[in-house]
Amino acid sequence: MGKTAVEKIFSNKSGIDAYAGDYVISTLDYIMINDITGPIAIDAFNSIGKKPVKDKIVIIPDHFVPPKDINSAIQYKKVKDFALNNGIDNFFDLGQGGVCHQVMMEKGFAAPGRLIAGADSHTNTYGALSSISVGIGSTEAGVIFATGKMWFKVPETIKININGKLNKGVEGKDVALHVLSKTGHDGATYKCMEFSGSSIDDLEINERMTIANMTTEAGAKCSFFNTDDRTINYLKNRVRGDYNIVSSDDDAVYESTINIDAEEIEPSVAIPNSPANVSPLSAVNVEIDQAYIGSCTNGRIEDIRKAAEILKNHTVNRKVRLMVVPASQEVYNQALSEGLIDIIVQAGGYFSGTTCGACLGGYMGVLGPNEVCISSTNRNFIGRMGDKTSKVYLANPKVVAASAILGRIGSPEEI
Amino acid sequence: MLSEIKGKVWVLGDDVDTDAIIPAKYLVTSDPEELSKHFMEYNDPELAKKIGKGDIIVAGKNFGSGSSREHAVITIKGLGVSCIIAENFARIFFRNAINLGMPLIEAKIGVKNGDRITINFNESKIYYMDKFQEFKKYPDFLKNIINEGGLINYVRDNQW
Ligand code: SF4
């Protein structure tokens, strides 16, 4: 019987001929923690009393870094001390790292055929680079520190075929939202979402990362994209060590298949309070107080380029604060050298150092009562970015930039 | 060794989420006894008092959906519940439960509050009324994690 890519990777990493539904103990390539999930993982690890599997551990403080208050400073210090005291080389401090998932990809941890766990729900993102990467709890992360292994149930796979030429103005984000409108917020619970088809082949890696990132919002355990020239190109000069290209067999068994015609995908907006509550952009007319470009979903250099292109020679609407927060230090440096920061600042936008910050309503851009934000992030749950009466609309970074100029949610075509 | 559980059942519906199991306002503690007092209190304020040590929860689909809080499992452990049977479990709840040593079974059985059932883990069968229902066996290592009272104890004592 043929296997899906995820069945193959769990088989390789467990040494068992595994299929969906089987329980396996697998060796991880990497285990990632951040400043929020890390402290509990470290406590769990310490209570086991074993030596850490140093080379597999990656520590990336991002949620409240630089620390916003004393409690976050304590959490940050805890993961930092752990890294330094245990000689963990893969520790990315402020100024070298960024949002954990972006760092995992750009620093070459994510690569084809790898199995990676992260104590953060959007670990799904590395499926864009043909890894199987899953979000887990903190206690489990602490156990992996000690053993390098974890038990898993091999997931079934939903195949998503998208074919045809994407419409003008449609980005990875719109594809992700369209898929969510089909699956709903729990339609892929437990499952791997595997993407294929000519539209996917045409997408650059950064767009695939956005799609992979948002599979979390459908409840998926992981995502998977096939390795192609674009993948190999991205990995060049980044990837650490060897990797092993894997793909699903022709006779693999899928849980279900969703076929999408590229023509049906429009520029879209997720309406509060669910990322799966999707509307065509053209049907949304809402005044905004904040426009936010950043996060592991859409805070990459390509996203900032797109925003700068729209903002060039324009001014941010005086009712709106525009915040642009690069997803990593590398993205920041690139934006600086390309002169993008200059363009955004000239337009009246605020450009900051990298952090998760406002994406989770943490700090730096928290919404007040009844404020409305258009955001390039991945979640618009009640109170996600601030007060419980505030509202978050999700869209692609071009739409966010255009809306910042218009003062309401609108299309780049209007600029 | 986990071989047999006998007990009285409490029947819950589909999609019981972690907010229903333990409302977020109680997450200021991780004490099992304290948490367990508030189990499902929005649905039935008396339920936590009625559930006794060794009782079994029988639920429908997608039990434990919602947030990844480990508190949901700690709450149910605090009640003294010996096993949860559901048609299926939300992914992270399932992991947390096993990792904290709580036996889970995926099965559908027709029972009502107060019925007594017997779960035989060696035979992978649930006996209820005059019927029985088979369930998928756990692999040995998962059974061992549950027997040891959770993942931390397990890896402390064993080599993976
Ligand atoms: S950027 Fe937002 S979604 Fe991504 S890891 Fe940070 S808080 Fe989570």
Residue A4: how many CA atoms within 13 Å on its side-chain side? 28
Ligand 1 and A53: CB distance under 6 A: no
| Confidence check: pLDDT of B30 > 90 | no
Output the pLDDT for position B86: 97
* B123, pLDDT greater than 90: yes
pLDDT, tens digit (0-9, with 9 covering 90-100), for A167-222: 999 999 999 999 999 999 889 988 999 999 999 999 999 999 999 999 999 999 99
Query: For the domain B4-157, what is the CATH superfamily, name and number?
Result: Aconitase, domain 4 (3.20.19.10)
Q: A335-368 pLDDT, tens per residue?
A: 999 999 999 999 999 999 999 999 999 999 999 9
CA of A335 to the centre of ligand 1 (A): 20
Provide the pLDDT for residue A124: 97
Q: Which of residues 60-79 of B touch A (CB under 8 A)?
A: 62, 65, 68, 70
* Position B28 pLDDT exceeds 80: no
Check B152 against A143: CB less than 8 A apart. yes
A60-88 pLDDT tens trace: 999 999 999 999 999 999 999 999 999 99
A259 half-sphere exposure, CB direction, 13 A CA radius: 1
> pLDDT class for A239, splitting at 50, 70, 90?
very high
Q: What percent of chain A lies above the pLDDT cut of 70?
A: 100
Q: Which residue has the higher pLDDT, A289 or B65?
A: A289
Q: Is the pLDDT of residue B157 over 90?
A: no
Instruction: Return the pLDDT at B85.
Output: 98
- Point out the ligand 1 atom lying closest to the alpha carbon of residue A362: 7
Give the number of other CB atoms < 10 A from CB of residue B2: 16
Please choose, from the candidates B113, B99, B90, B111, the residue with its C-alpha nearest in 3D space to the C-alpha of residue B152: B99
CA B64 from chain centre, in angstroms, equals 10
In this prediction, residues A369-397 reach a mean pLDDT of: 96
Residues of A in contact with B146 (CB under 8 A): none
Interface contact flag, A143 B62, Cβ < 8 Å: no
pLDDT at A340: 98
- Ligand 1, residue A360: give the atom nearest the CA: 7
Chain A CB contacts of B139 under 8 Å are 23
pLDDT of amino acid B141 = 86
Average pLDDT over residues A382-396: 94
CA A179 to ligand 1 center in whole angstroms:
20
Instruction: Say whether B156 and A149 touch across the interface (CB within 8 A).
Output: no
In the predicted structure, residue B69 carries a pLDDT above the cut 90: no
Beta-ladder partners of A135: A118
**So what's the pLDDT on residue A24?**
95
What are φ and ψ of residue A383, in 5° steps?
75, 10
Query: Is the CB of residue A139 less than 8 Å away from at least one CB of chain B?
Result: yes
- Calculate how close chain A gets to B28, using CA atoms only, in Å: 15
Helices (H), A158-300: 172-183, 198-202, 205-214, 229-235, 295-298
Q: Is the pLDDT of residue A153 over 90?
A: yes
Cβ-Cβ contacts under 8 Å, B70 against chain A: 137, 139
Q: Is any atom of ligand 1 closer than 6 Å to the C-beta of A378?
A: yes
CB of A110 closer than 6 angstroms to any ligand 1 atom? no
Residue B65, pLDDT above cutoff 90: no
The pLDDT assigned to A282 comes to 97
- The domain locations on chain B are 4-157
- Does ligand 1 have an atom closer than 6 angstroms to the CB of A16? no
Distance in angstroms (rounded) separating the CA atoms of residues A235 and A233: 5
CA distance A318 to A161: 43
> Ligand 1 centre and the CA of A261: distance in Å?
30
Q: Could you give the CA distance from residue A58 to residue A148 in angstroms, rounded to a whole number?
A: 12
User: A189 at the B interface (CB within 8 A)?
Assistant: yes
Q: Is A266 close to ligand 1, i.e. is its CB under 6 Å away?
A: no
Task: Write out the two tokens for A299.
Answer: 């805070």
Q: Is the pLDDT at B1 greater than 80, yes or no?
A: no
Tokens 């890390």 locate to: A38
Please give the full DSSP string across A294-307, using - where no structure is assigned.
EHHHH-SHHHHHHH
- ipTM score of the complex? 0.88
Q: Is ligand 1 within 6 A of the CB of residue A355?
A: no
Tell me which residue in A49, A153, A221 faces B156 most closely, judged by beta carbons. Answer: A49
> What pLDDT band is residue B137 in, cutting at 50, 70 and 90?
confident
Q: Does B37 touch chain A (CB under 8 A)?
A: no
Contact between A276 and A184 (Cβ < 8 Å): yes
Each residue's pLDDT tens digit, A271-325:
999 999 999 999 999 999 999 999 999 999 999 999 999 999 999 999 999 999 9
Closest approach atom of ligand 1 to CA A378: 3
Contact indicator for A52, A88 with CB cutoff of 8 Å: yes
Per DSSP bridges, beta strands A372-375 and A290-294 are: parallel
A-facing residues of B in 99-118 (CB < 8 A) are 99
Higher pLDDT, B86 or B29: B86
For residue A221, the chain B residues in CB contact (below 8 A) are 91
pLDDT of residue A391: 98
**pLDDT over threshold 80, residue A166:** yes
Domains of chain A (ranges; CATH) run 5-260 (3.30.499.10), 271-414 (3.30.499.10)
* Contacts of residue A136, Cβ cutoff 8 Å, sequence gap at least 6: A117, A118, A119, A123, A144, A150, B95
Tens of pLDDT, residue by residue over A9-33, are 999 999 999 999 999 999 999 999 9
pLDDT band at B110 (very low <50, low <70, confident <90, very high): very high
Cβ within 8 Å, pair B95-A137: yes
pLDDT of amino acid A98: 98
* A360 alpha carbon – ligand 1 mean position (Å): 7
